[in-house]
Amino acid sequence: MQTSFHIYSLVQELNKEILGAKIVSTEFYKKERSAYIICKKKSRLALSFVYHPAKSGMFLIPPSKINLTTREKPWPIFALEGAEIVKIEQLGFDRVVQVTLSHRDKTKFLIFEALGPNGNMWLLNNKNEKEATLRKKDISKNELYEITPLPNRLSPIDLTVETFLKLCQQKEDLALTFFLDRYILGFNITLAVELQKRIGIDPLPVSQIDSTIAQQIVTGLKDLVESFKQFDKGYLYQVKGMHEAYPFKLSSVDAQPEKFKSLSLAVMSMTERKNSKIETVDEENIINTAVKKHIKKLQKRIENVQNDIAKASDYETYKMYGELLQINFSKIRKGMESITLPNIFDSTEVEISIPLDVTLSPNENAERYFKKHRKGREGLELLKRRFQITTDELAQIKKIQTELELQFQNTKEKYASEIASLMPREQSKSIQAERLPYREHQLTSGLTIYIGRDGADNDRTTFEFCKPYELWFHTQQCAGSHVVMKYPNKNFEPSKQEIAETAAIAAYHSKARNDTMVPVIYTQRKYVRKPRKAKPGLVIVEREKSVMVEPKNHAK
């Protein structure tokens, strides 16, 4: 998908190649949702605008490169033949291009909203009034064109260290990668990772960004803008199942790209290939389906736990059986399959039949029931804990569902890590979920924990998928996975058993796995920070507590 950076680069190319050119013909293919403005300066070039749901983009190519799969006759675009292109500019740092035309001694404006499948093209008069559009929209007389308000993002062109730091203070819970993706115009995850790679900053939360780091980031942003002034080379990558085009080689991607003679040709090739990532299908439908599926899963789990609680509530009966057997030892003979005794714990002293194990002595039979009582009591407490955790988790996911229905895009960004964890890992060929940096496990209480995979994944697990108030675990002075305890809500308080169990799993996923007892530290994630230029996985921890545990992989 093209970003504001790509449109910035395209405008540089258009100003060089078609500024001063005349429009010789126009073509619009309604079924393919593509429009072409053929211009001639020194040679013919086609300004191409495609807004098809499966492929979209804006690029400048020779007319011979236009690839049509439809036999429909082209419609003319607004009768612009003979118009001269006198000015080309990007409005703001958005995905909107304005082309000023001189047509029959009148000034006209062509507006290209390069917004992917939601794109549109407008013809305006010299008063900025709408005259025509590609999409069927009712246009009132003298209706002015107004640019869609820019999202709440900063432009990298006029960004200062002060404004960057101010926004960081408002979004300090976010990881830098997600922060750049959401709040700096033109960024996607790939460019966010690329910027950090270029300036030598490892993943970290924006709460740890000081003025020195902010200066590095802002300078890096300016350099990135300069890189997009190039347009005479194009490199096409496949990143996590999605095709992405850039005017330079990415230092953050190991795979070799396809090379093209221009960024426009790379973008054209990108639009012709049906991407396999979520953006090329109905993203909203996929996310909502995943949320609904998880809600059903939690509701089923609650139902099962309630049934288990009902069964486990009988544990007091086992205590009564044991005590009755102890009182009546003299009446029990080895080999008896059962014994009928008066229930002295009932005011009516009704007789009760107690099953016996023929291979056990009277004392062993009594102890067997006491053991079942203890196990049932502990199991009931665990089941009640699991019920509460699952109920809290269900309430949280229902809250996300409600917010998605009211404002999808903002909610998707607000709960990015939570939604990412819900996406199905096994996808069809047309959908590919992003690889998560952790393995997900459940404690015996039903609480979810994340276990980082390796050094770089540990950093992402800690700083991108862990909330500041959640607990972070790691073996003390020993290499191992970062382990994160996910809370069903902000007010959750983990039990000693859950802390010990998580610590045991952290010890198991470390180089101390084969030791008898291992010290594991834990603290809230807000007290974990990444030193500048530190190796992947290396962090500094404050206010930590320590617990000695035997390494065990309790997780289900």
The domain spanning residue 75 has which CATH number? Answer: 2.30.310.10
Indicate the residue among 429, 448, 472 that finishes a domain: 429
String of DSSP letters for 167-211:
HHHHTTTSBHHHHHHHHBTT--HHHHHHHHHHHT----BGGG--H
8 A C-beta contact, residue 234 and residue 261: yes
Sheet holding 258-260, edge to edge: 242-246, 234-239, 258-260
pLDDT at 517: 95
Residue 112 and residue 195 in one domain = no
Q: Are residues 320 and 254 in the same domain?
A: no
pLDDT digits (tens, 9 = 90+) for 286-315: 889 999 999 999 999 999 999 888 877 777
Decide if 156 is inside a domain. no
Q: Do residue 269 and residue 318 come from a single domain?
A: no
**Phi and psi of 504, rounded to 5°?**
-65, -35
Would you give per-residue pLDDT tens digits along the chain (556 residues)?
A: 789 999 999 999 999 999 999 999 999 998 889 999 999 998 999 999 999 877 889 999 999 999 888 888 888 999 999 999 999 999 989 999 999 999 999 999 999 999 888 899 999 999 999 999 998 778 888 899 988 766 678 999 989 999 999 998 888 778 888 899 889 999 999 999 999 999 988 888 888 899 999 999 999 999 999 999 999 999 999 887 788 999 999 998 888 999 999 999 999 999 887 544 444 446 788 889 999 999 999 999 999 999 888 877 777 788 888 888 989 988 988 789 999 998 888 888 788 999 999 888 888 898 988 888 887 777 788 888 999 999 999 999 999 999 998 888 778 878 888 888 888 755 433 344 567 889 999 999 999 999 998 888 999 899 989 999 999 999 998 999 999 999 999 899 999 999 999 999 999 999 999 999 999 999 999 999 988 778 888 999 999 999 999 999 864 4
Residues 314 and 197 in one domain: no
Domain shared by 285 and 237, yes or no = no
Q: Which residues pair with 233 in a beta bridge?
A: none
Does one domain contain both 545 and 445? yes
In a domain, 155, yes or no: no
Exposure class string for 427-462: b at 16+ Cβ within 10 A, else e: eeeebbbeebbbbebebebbbbbbbbbeeebbbbbb
**Structure tokens belonging to residue 252:** 């953050």
- Please state the φ and ψ torsions of residue 467, each to the nearest 5 degrees: -75, 155
195 near 229, Cβ under 8 Å?
no
Length of the chain: 556
Check residue 434 and give its pLDDT: 61
150: in domain: no
* Within a domain: 237: yes
Query: Is this prediction's pTM over 0.85?
Result: no
Residue 383 and residue 502 in one domain: no
Q: Measured between alpha carbons, how far is 370 from 364 in angstroms, rounded to an integer?
A: 10
Please give the Cα distance from 180 to 530 (Å, whole number): 18
Integer CA distances (angstroms), 281 to 105, 136, 277, 421, 463, in order:
45, 23, 8, 19, 29
Residues 383 and 462 grouped into a single domain: no
In terms of domains, do 387 and 313 share one?
yes
CATH of the domain at 255: 1.10.8
Predicted local distance difference test score (pLDDT) of residue 488: 92
End-to-end Cα separation, the chain, in angstroms: 39
* Alpha carbon distance 327, 426 (integer Å): 59
Q: Are 170 and 245 contained in the same domain?
A: yes
Question: Which class for 44: exposed (0-12), middle (13-18), buried (19 or more C-beta within 10 A)?
Answer: middle
Q: How many CA atoms lie within 13 A of 412 on its CB side?
A: 16
Distance (Å) of CA 259 to CA 7, 214, 264, 265: 19, 33, 12, 9
Q: Domain count of the chain?
A: 4
Same-domain check for residues 258 and 301: no
What pLDDT is recorded for position 554? 66
Q: Looking up tokens 């403005």, which residue turns up?
A: 37
Residues 184 and 226 in one domain: yes
Structure tokens at 361: 């002595």
Boundary-marking domain end, from 429, 459, 486: 429
- 56: in domain: yes
Q: Which residue has the tokens 């009966």?
A: 317
Q: Which of 429, 461, 493 is the last residue of a domain?
A: 429
Please report whether residue 378 resides in a domain: yes
In single-letter form, the type of residue at position 17 comes to E
**Cα–Cα dist 502/506, whole Å:** 6
Is 148 a domain residue? no
Query: What range defines the domain where residue 178 resides?
Result: 161-276
- 149, burial (CB in 10 Å: exposed 0-12, middle 13-18, buried 19+): exposed
CA angle 341, 344, 349 (to 5 degrees): 75
Environment class of 26 (CB within 10 Å of its CB; exposed 0-12, middle 13-18, buried 19+): buried
In a domain, 358, yes or no: yes
